[in-house]
Homo-oligomer: A and B are copies of this chain.
């Protein structure tokens, strides 16, 4: 895959009118607790509440007019679907979003709100791909895959460009890894601008295919257990894994308990809403991940889309 800093910078110019340059927040309380200088890139405050606005917007606006006219399609458990729906609305083209029937209500509502066509399917990877392929066959729409699409990856990398511009001398940048779209874009952007930076990814122990693959040196596809970090259940994509092998320094895993505790800690301390997937890197920090003491560590908080009626620390009747 051709993915370089020039492509990411071009993506940044392309999507600039449609996204927020999100703030970087700090917390002296979390710094004291961890012994690390933490910087949080708040993509939860991004349009539609997730960094996924970046990649989808870049992909939709990279299409030539003839292709765009036939519409776009994707399958997504939610955030990427909303991102494609919004980008299509901004460009004035039709979007077909295939969603598993058990998607979170908040994510379904978001997609509907942008006027996209939703096709529900069984909650399996196979069903999603089959329904999407059928739609594309029928309509001529272009598939915008949520993490394997090159323009999506370039778009996701723009958050890291802003991050290293806004915070000087970051020693480490951390983000979660699911399919690897954000991680591969982040790694290329960060390492190209600042070659000595370390890029560390974190994923739930219950969905640790990326960590397994990274250690084995080959892409391993695993059957996933449940994880509350629903954005990270996916296996790493093939093109993503190639980039990860080349640019990423380490991949760590964290427990479900650590994810919920980290999420709650960030809500309580920083007064921002992050979804469980976004809490995964900080969970590694708060679990005492070694070697970062005194370092300047940037964490990408990936999203804030969560059902406020179903918080993991509250038992409702």
A13 CB–B CB distance under 8 Å: no
Q: What chain B residues lie within 8 Å of A44 (beta carbons)?
A: 271
Q: In the bound complex, how far is the Cα of B313 from the Cα of A250, in angstroms?
A: 41
Q: In the complex, A89→B47 CA distance in Å?
A: 38
Within 8 A of B (CB), among A64-117: 106
CB-contact partner of A264 in B47, B49, B308, under 8 A: B308
Residues of chain B within 8 A (CB-CB) of A315 are 316-317
Instruction: Output the least CB separation between A108 and chain B (Å).
Output: 14
Decide yes or no whether A1 CB sits under 8 A from chain B. no
Please name all residues of chain B whose beta carbon is closer than 8 Å to the beta carbon of A226 when the two chains form the complex: none
Contacts of A273 in B (CB 8 A): 267, 271-273
Residues of chain B lying within 8 A (CB to CB) of residue A313: 308-309
| Interface status of A23 (Cβ within 8 A of chain B) | yes
Q: Which residue of B lies closest to A106 (CB)?
A: B268
Report if A270 contacts B (CB, 8 A): yes
**Contacts known (A314-B316, A316-B315, A317-B316); A45 close to B270, Cβ less than 8 A:** yes
- Select from chain B the residue with minimum beta-carbon distance to A23: B23
A216 within 8 A of B: no
A268 contact set on B, CB distance < 8 A: 106, 308
* A23–B42 alpha-carbon span in the complex (Å): 12
Q: How far is the CB of A42 from chain B (nearest CB, A)?
A: 8
8 Å CB interface, A292-317 against B = 304-305, 308-309, 311, 313-317
Across the two chains, which residue of chain B brings its CB closest to A45?
A: B271
Give residues 1-49 of A contacting B (CB, 8 Å).
23, 25, 28, 44-45, 47, 49
Cβ contacts under 8 Å, A28 to chain B: 47
Neighbour of A309 across the interface among B23, B47, B314, CB < 8 A: B314
Per the bound structure, the CA–CA distance linking A308 and B267 in Å amounts to 8
CB-CB contacts of A47-58 with B at 8 A, as 1s and 0s?
A: 101000000000
* Complex contacts, A311 vs chain B, CB 8 Å: 308, 311, 314
The residue of chain B having its C-beta at the shortest distance from the C-beta of A310 within the complex is: B314
Q: Which residues of B contact A309 (CB under 8 A)?
A: 313-314
- Chain B residues closer than 8 Å to A305, beta-carbon distance: 271
Name A's B-contacting residues (CB within 8 A). 23, 25, 28, 44-45, 47, 49, 106, 264, 267-268, 270-274, 304-305, 308-309, 311, 313-317
18 A-B pairs in the complex with CB atoms less than 8 angstroms apart: A44-B271, A45-B270, A45-B272, A264-B308, A267-B308, A268-B308, A271-B273, A271-B274, A271-B305, A272-B273, A273-B273, A308-B313, A309-B313, A311-B311, A314-B314, A314-B316, A315-B317, A316-B316
